[in-house]
Amino acid sequence: MQKDHILNPYLASEPGESNPYTAGMRTVYEKLKPFLTPKQLEDLGRKLQIEKPILNEVQYLQAACELSICGYFAGKFPSTFKYEPVITAPKDVDCAFESRGFRFNVEVKCADYTKKNELDQTKGFQLGVFGRHPDLAQVHKDLQKALSHAPTGQPLRLQPHMDNKLKDFLISAHGKFADSTHDDTLNVLAVCGDGPSDLQKWFGYLYGWQGLFTKNSYHPMSDYSRVDVVLLTNLYHRHYNYHEKDQLADHWDFGKAFNVSFSNPFRQRDKRLAIEQFTTTMPNHSWKLSNYRVKGDDVPPEVDAAIRLSSYIGEKLADSGMFQMPRESTDGLHSS
């Protein structure tokens, strides 16, 4: 990968200047390189769109998230790491590694945030929900009508709801993983999300009303029973428009990201020990989040669940360097 050939605007730099973001990419790339065939190296360069001055940003961010995670595990578990192993032919997963007698298969997904990013650039109010809402269209209509009489006259727009995208991620990963016959192999779907309020929404897709990890899931659980764990990380947040986020550094380092794991209650086997071991393979906030409760007297459980993750980040991690936090707040209930 020659510096003169880097035209991707995320990675390019002015002549004579260094780009710490690009240096971070090279570090992770070098960790992963020994495990790739010449064809895989060529494919990775294409995914990263190294020589494209006008890039497909959605595809680039997916590739950046994949490289961040695969490079991290390649560097930490070099003796057992595998890149793009085939689990269920002909499909492969992004990577696999072993730790203390357990094997971990990891598939990485990053949603298309184009609509969300466009909405965030518009003036007005935004309406989002925790999980699904049976009467969301009517609620939106009623609130629009009420706000139309406000002095500002600003519109109320619905935030993109991506639970169907998470469902697709789960089903796709299910098709790449094998049926579980032993408790020493863990199948992990890593979902790369944005800031605190966005991560709270993904938590809602799992545990809100008709959430995919609840008994009243809106989709048959058997279609994603091979997925043992969903790992939610803010890697998208750390890559997207990184040059506008002065509170962040080491964007490519998965170990510096916010990570939290959620076990699938409908997984085929218990795998408790494997799940516990997986949480030790990277900085992980699962245990702290599970013990955290939103501050306040007599906070209803449904309210606690609806704001717990974003509140935890705002209260505990505002100055951690994991997130670009709003200057005037900690983003606990941010919605625009």
Tell me the C-alpha distance between 22 and 6, whole Å. Answer: 10
The confidence score (pLDDT) of residue 108 equals 98
The confidence score (pLDDT) of residue 333 equals 36
Number of other residues whose CB lies within 10 A of the CB of residue 139: 14
At 85 the three-state DSSP class reads coil
Which residues are CB-contacts of 284 (< 8 A; sequence separation ≥ 6)?
259, 260, 261
Task: Of 67, 71, 61, give the one whose Cα is nearest residue 97.
Answer: 71
Outline where DSSP puts E strands in 218-286: 229-233, 259-263
Which residues are CB-contacts of 144 (< 8 A; sequence separation ≥ 6)?
155, 156
The confidence score (pLDDT) of residue 138 equals 73
pLDDT under 50 in the chain at which residues?
Answer: 329-336
The confidence score (pLDDT) of residue 214 equals 96
Task: Of 216, 249, 21, 18, give the one whose Cα is nearest residue 132.
Answer: 216
> Tens digit of pLDDT for each residue in 243-277?
999 999 999 999 999 999 999 999 999 999 999 99
